Each structure stands twice: as C-alpha cells, then as structure tokens.
Amino acid sequence: MKPLVTAILALSCLAPVAGFAQATDSGRYTYCWVKDTGKHEIWLSQIFPTPPGTDAALAAEFLTHVGTLGGAGDKTCVTAESREVAQTRRSAESAAIMRKRSFGIRIYDLHDVTWTPAAVSHVDSVPASVAAPAAPVAAPPVAAAPVAAPAVVAAPPIAAAAPAVPATAQPEPPAAPDIGKKIASDPFFQLPAGKGAALHRSGSRIVNKTMPVTSDSTMRRRAGSNQCHLEETVLAGEGGIYKSTASGETWAGFIPLSMNSRMSSQKGVRYSELKAVAIDKLIGKPFPLVAGNSFGWSVSYESLNNSIDIARYGQDWNCTVGVTAPASTSIPGMAGEQTEVKCRLSFVSLPAPPQEQIFIWYDAAGCFMQDPTR
C-alpha cells in the first residue's frame, strides 16, 4: 500500500498509522519458508510480528503465496521470542542453505520473499477490539476522532437521519496516567451532555486534489462520560481499491485516545492500533462554542502495525468556531442545533501535508462529527 494512500486512509478514519498491534503475540516474531526439492529452490519470507493462530496455518498461507510466484513444496514457519533471535536463526539457515554444494555446484537457489500474512487464516483469532470494523491519524484520526484529509467536494453528501439510540455505559479504554488526569480535570475536555441521539453521515470528497474518498460514519456518546465512539468505513481510490474500517473513541470530540483499524487492498490486509501517549499542549477550550473563538492542542501518538514496529508522531491542531444552524441542515430529521468548527491539522515526524478539517458539533448527540464532503 502506498505511503500516501495509507496516510489518507488513516486521516480519513480518524486513526494514525496502521498494523498488527494486539494481533502480535507477546513480542514474538516469525518467518516462513518453502523447500521445493524438485526444483532445488527455497523460498524464504522476511521476518514479521507473529499474528494469532498457529505456525501450521501461517505456513499454509505462505505456501499459497509462494504458489503465485511459481513455487511449491514442503512448508514450515519458525517463531522466536524476539526479532533479534529470529534474525539470527534466519541468517544461520540461509547461510547453511547456500553452503550446500554437490561437486562444487550449489544445490539450492534461495529466494527472499517480501510477504506479510494477509491474516485471512487468523481473522477468527484476532481480538474483537482489533478485528472489529474500525484505520490512519488522528489518523491518526494513525487515530483514528473523526479526522479526515482536506478535501474538495467530489459529490454531494449523502445524509440520513439515524434513530435515537440510548448511549450505554461502557468501560473507557486505559489511558496513560498524565492523559487520564488531564481528561478528568481540565476544562478543555468537559463536553456538554448529549441527549442520546446517534449520528450517521455518509459522503464523498477529493483528497489532495487526486484521491476520491467515500466515507460512512456513525458516532455515539457514551453515557456518563465525555467520550464518543466512532465506527467508520472509508473507500479510497478509483473503484474503492483501498478500504479502511475503524473503531475507536475520541475525547472532547476531537482527540482520539485509541483506535483500531483494518485496511485492505489488492496487496492484502493490514491491522493497526493507534494510542495517544501524551497530550503536549492545550490552548483555550472548545466550550462554550462561540463563533470566532479559537482553541487548539498538540498530541503525540504511537502506532503499531504489521509492516513496521512502532511509529511515533505528533499532531498540532488549531480550530476556529463557525456558525450555528439547525441540525437538520446536514442530517434530515435530526433535532437540536449544529455548530461548525474549522480546524487545521499539521503533522510532526510524519510525511503528510497540513490538512483542513471541518467538524460539526451536534448538541442532540453531544458529539462532534467530521463533515464527509469537506
């Protein structure tokens, strides 16, 4: 998956970067190989974080991939307690294979295969928090609060009223101690109570002037908390070649505390987990929402996925409150009022350009939702 597309999906899904995260097994690492004795060829994968499931299932999955490259034969996978140990074993096996000769002629041809498990064999084993429809950045948006990339409207929004669904009290995800204290005490995070309405919006836009993106999102306030829960599906590229589903929570309507995502394309499936590790700065406060008022914040995230180990990056946000109008203006049948908030998102240590984001506060729900068309 191209880095730009990954960043766009992450942004669109309110999550940062993507990966296996909780799907990894206690820091263990695995590589697989197929030995084709008929052709005297050996196909050896790179090292990857160990997903749930068994080595036998992984080996079968790798053999299927090798088959697309013209290989076949006996299959196996090797799992070690760390990347370093796995690398040592893989290097030793590679050297042993290359040393085997007959009458001075090397017996085997060794093929290094870049391959990441598509997780098809392990979906049932992935923890619900990871496998649930969730994706990249605040994304990241890695995280993803409803955060999407800037956009030129490609198609009018498809809006529909969602039935009022009472919010249910659920345990809130663990937060780093300093984040927990700020969430509990700082006025910045004290959202007005909602009335239990569920928000649902769909729409299309063009990101970075080239990438068509369609999103479908549902947001609900959790009873007795200042937390809203997001479920979002994003299709990007011509024909929706890239698909990202994200599930996570946002604080103060904007700041994602945690996000699990699943991205799929023709190249396979990628799971990721985004986690806020530090709130670096708070400027002003969102409420009361008064037209012309400004506020902002900086937050640091760590993301885990099945193609990189741990990535850390920051987000800087600056927002300005806009006009208030009837909620039915954007969601037919929705009661109460809506207030538009325009934000500029800049990234730290992430190769992505600044993004313009439009969020709308719905007082009937007590949540912000991103405008899917802008």
Q: How far apart are CA 101 and CA 315, in angstroms?
A: 55
Given a cut of 90, whether residue 168 has pLDDT beyond it is no
- Residues 64 and 172 placed together within one structural domain of the fold: no
Asked whether the beta carbons of 4 and 30 are under 8 A apart, the reply is no
- Residues 157 and 220 placed together within one structural domain of the fold: yes
Number of domains making up the chain? 2
- Residues 66 and 186 placed together within one structural domain of the fold: no
Asked whether the beta carbons of 7 and 137 are under 8 A apart, the reply is yes
Question: Higher pLDDT residue, 15 or 49?
Answer: 49
Show Cβ contacts of residue 224 under 8 Å, excluding neighbours closer than 6 positions: 169
Q: What is the pLDDT of residues 217-229, one digit of tens each?
A: 999 998 888 889 9
Quote the mean pLDDT of the chain.
74
Q: What is the pLDDT of residues 18-51, one digit of tens each?
A: 332 233 334 688 889 898 867 778 888 988 888 8
- Residues 111 and 168 placed together within one structural domain of the fold: no
Edge to edge, the sheet with strand 227-236 lists 152-159, 199-207, 211-221, 227-236, 242-251, 255-265, 268-283, 294-305, 310-326, 337-348, 355-362, 367-370
Q: What is the pLDDT of residue 55?
A: 74
In whole angstroms, how far apart are CA 193 and each of 166, 222, 226? 13, 10, 8
Task: Please indicate, yes or no, if residue 223 is contained in any of the structural domains.
Answer: yes
Determine the distance from the C-alpha atom of residue 133 to the mean position of all C-alpha atoms in its chain, rounded to a whole number: 10
Per-residue pLDDT band for 107 (boundaries 50, 70, 90) equals low
Residue 33 identity: W
Task: Please indicate, yes or no, if residue 169 is contained in any of the structural domains.
Answer: yes
Full domain range(s) for residue 98: 27-118
Strands 109-113, 41-45: pairing kind: parallel
Per-residue pLDDT band for 105 (boundaries 50, 70, 90) equals low
Task: Please indicate, yes or no, if residue 173 is contained in any of the structural domains.
Answer: yes
Which of 85, 118, 151 is the last residue before a domain boundary?
118
Asked whether the beta carbons of 260 and 132 are under 8 A apart, the reply is yes
Q: What is the pLDDT of residues 181-230, one digit of tens each?
A: 888 888 899 889 888 899 999 999 887 677 888 999 999 998 888 889 99
Show Cβ contacts of residue 271 under 8 Å, excluding neighbours closer than 6 positions: 18, 19, 20, 21, 23, 119, 126, 130, 131, 260, 261, 262, 263, 305, 306
Given a cut of 80, whether residue 160 has pLDDT beyond it is no
Q: What is the pLDDT of residue 104?
A: 60
- Residues 209 and 178 placed together within one structural domain of the fold: yes
Q: What is the pLDDT of residues 338-372, one digit of tens each?
A: 999 999 999 887 777 888 889 999 999 999 998 98
- Residues 152 and 99 placed together within one structural domain of the fold: no
Q: What is the pLDDT of residue 73?
A: 86
- Residues 13 and 32 placed together within one structural domain of the fold: no
Task: Please indicate, yes or no, if residue 126 is contained in any of the structural domains.
Answer: no
- Residues 105 and 147 placed together within one structural domain of the fold: no
Q: What is the pLDDT of residue 29?
A: 87
Show Cβ contacts of residue 26 under 8 Å, excluding neighbours closer than 6 positions: none
- Residues 173 and 285 placed together within one structural domain of the fold: yes
- Residues 332 and 279 placed together within one structural domain of the fold: yes
Q: What is the pLDDT of residue 250?
A: 85
Determine the distance from the C-alpha atom of residue 297 to the mean position of all C-alpha atoms in its chain, rounded to a whole number: 21
End-to-end CA distance of the chain: 24
Task: Please indicate, yes or no, if residue 347 is contained in any of the structural domains.
Answer: yes
Task: Please indicate, yes or no, if residue 89 is contained in any of the structural domains.
Answer: yes
Task: Please indicate, yes or no, if residue 22 is contained in any of the structural domains.
Answer: no
- Residues 168 and 82 placed together within one structural domain of the fold: no
The mean pLDDT of 133-151, rounded to a whole number, is 35
Q: What is the pLDDT of residues 234-285, one digit of tens each?
A: 998 777 788 888 888 888 888 888 888 888 877 677 777 888 889 999 999 9
Q: What is the pLDDT of residues 295-327, one digit of tens each?
A: 999 999 887 765 555 678 899 999 999 999 999
Decide: residue 166, CB within 10 A, 0-12 exposed, 13-18 middle, 19+ buried. Answer: exposed
Task: Please indicate, yes or no, if residue 124 is contained in any of the structural domains.
Answer: no
Q: What is the pLDDT of residue 103?
A: 63
Closest CA to 363 of 330, 342, 343, 334: 334
Which of 64, 93, 118 is the last residue before a domain boundary?
118
Question: Higher pLDDT residue, 163 or 305?
Answer: 305
Closest CA to 220 of 202, 191, 244, 195: 195
- Residues 162 and 109 placed together within one structural domain of the fold: no
